[in-house]
Amino acid sequence: MKALTHPKEPMQKVLPYCDIIVGNSDEAATLAKNFEFNTTELHDMIRMLADMPKVNEKRKRIVLITQQEDPVLVYSEGKTTEYPVLPISPEDIVDTNGAGDGFVGGFLASYALNKPLEDCVRNGIVAAHMIIQVCGCTLPIRD
């Protein structure tokens, strides 16, 4: 697998304007390395990302990290919560491309409607779960 790269300087410029940061565990590890967090512990990484300087101090930053079949980690309001993903058998997984995009779409659709954070995360998990069962980033056709 190709190593992920996130150049530090552009990320330093954009992160102060981010109320929500979403990524996977590999992306979080790359950011932690680039910002010299000196930890390999995901719980520490997401707390440190959340605590980075932010322009809009009226809202606390939310950090969400997906981990494939492991729980989604969400740092909000000073604490980390783990949300289990939906179980799926390996033979039902068709294509994992777009799983992260599906998660973000499901999350943000609920977030834009001012749903509780827990509901937003769960809807992201459901969307990702649906996406990996089809080819490409498409939703199954409903009857």
Active site residues: 101
Distance CA(104)–CA(121), nearest Å, equals: 9
8 Å CB contact between 70 and 85: yes
Pairing of strands 70-76, 79-83: antiparallel
What H or E segment, with its residue span, contains residue 70?
Answer: strand 70-76
Q: Which of 59, 50, 3, 43 is nearest to 27 (CA)?
A: 3
State the residue for tokens 């390999």. Answer: 40
**H-helix segments, 51-131:** 99-112, 117-131
Residue 106: CB atoms within 10 A of its CB come to 22
